[in-house]
Amino acid sequence: MNRKSAVIALVLVAAAPAAAFEVPQNRQEFVEAVLAGKGATAAETFTVDQPLHKIYDVLAERANTCLDVTVSRTAYVGYVEHSSSDFNPTVRLAGKDRAEFTLQVIHNPRGVGATPPPNGLYIMAADLRSIDGNSTEIALYRPTIGFKKIVQSVKLWFTGDAAACPKLR
């Protein structure tokens, strides 16, 4: 193997792990990745004693007020560095007795790697289903690292509690 072939082989081997990581490009791919156990994520299903319409109203209002925000940061790391995270929640009815919640984030500057989908990387999703008109089943797909305050707030909102906004950094 000549020197040029060895360099090409080394580059291909070094790039293989990065090429193997796939960023979910839509909500369904994110949910499937969580269910497959990829990344630092978990799926859980639970039931709350609140009707879907009440949870939907609280979730839509709180998501719009608390999570549809841009968090800017400035740090001195030998020079002044600016960064931001633009959170993009979506709450929508998916039928007469179903609703969906999705949270995405756009980081600026963007990290190296795969191109994120429009509205940013998927960090959380939930499927809500009315059981009997008085209870709601929730399937939550969430991160296990970071975003702890957001997860705690969203879980409270799922109970119909219009809890305070999480502190985002």
**What tens digit of pLDDT does each residue of 39-96 get?**
999 999 999 999 999 999 999 999 999 999 999 999 988 999 999 999 999 999 999 9
From residue 68, how far is each of 94, 106, 134, 166, 168 by CA, in Å? 20, 12, 29, 12, 11
Q: Give the architecture-level CATH label for domain 24-158.
A: 2-Layer Sandwich (3.30)
pTM score, two decimals? 0.84
Q: For the chain, which residues make up each domain, given as ranges? A: 24-158
pLDDT for the residue 112: 82
- On the question of a cis peptide bond just before residue 109, with omega within 30 degrees of 0, the verdict is yes
Listed in sequence order, the residues at least 6 apart from 85 whose beta carbon sits closer than 8 Å to its beta carbon are 70, 71, 105, 106, 107, 108, 168
Calpha distance 60→37 (Å, rounded): 28
Q: Are 168 and 149 in contact (CB under 8 A)?
A: yes
Residue-wise pLDDT for 124-139, tens only, equals 999 999 999 899 999 9
